[in-house]
Structure 1
Amino acid sequence: MYDIGLKVQVFNMALTSSCLIRCRLNMKKCVYAGRLLNLL
């Protein structure tokens, strides 16, 4: 039981970290797009 709970915690942590990385990449894309629009 404990082993399964631990695996679930690790899985959730990996999932949230990957989501955060995606959010950061999307933010960078938005910033770059905004700069390009401002230059135009």
Structure 2
Amino acid sequence: MLYSILYWENVMYKNNEANSSVRAKRGKKGENLALTMLL
């Protein structure tokens, strides 16, 4: 389940990267959170 969250956050980050820097940063933050949860 955590892997799915990490994958989803990564996809969302890539999709939002070109659209909005704010959303991209939020996606990146979520990705880091998922990585922390895995550890």
TM-score, reference length from structure 1:
0.49
The higher-RCO structure (CA 8 Å, 6+ apart) is 2
Equivalent residue pairs, number: 21
Structure 2: stretches of 5+ with no match in the other structure = 1-18
Structure 1: stretches of 5+ with no match in the other structure = 1-8, 30-40
Q: Which has the larger radius of gyration?
A: 1
Deviation, 1:12, is 0.4
2:28 to 9, 18, 27: 18
Tell me how large the CA RMSD over aligned residues is: 1.4
Paired-residue identity, %: 14
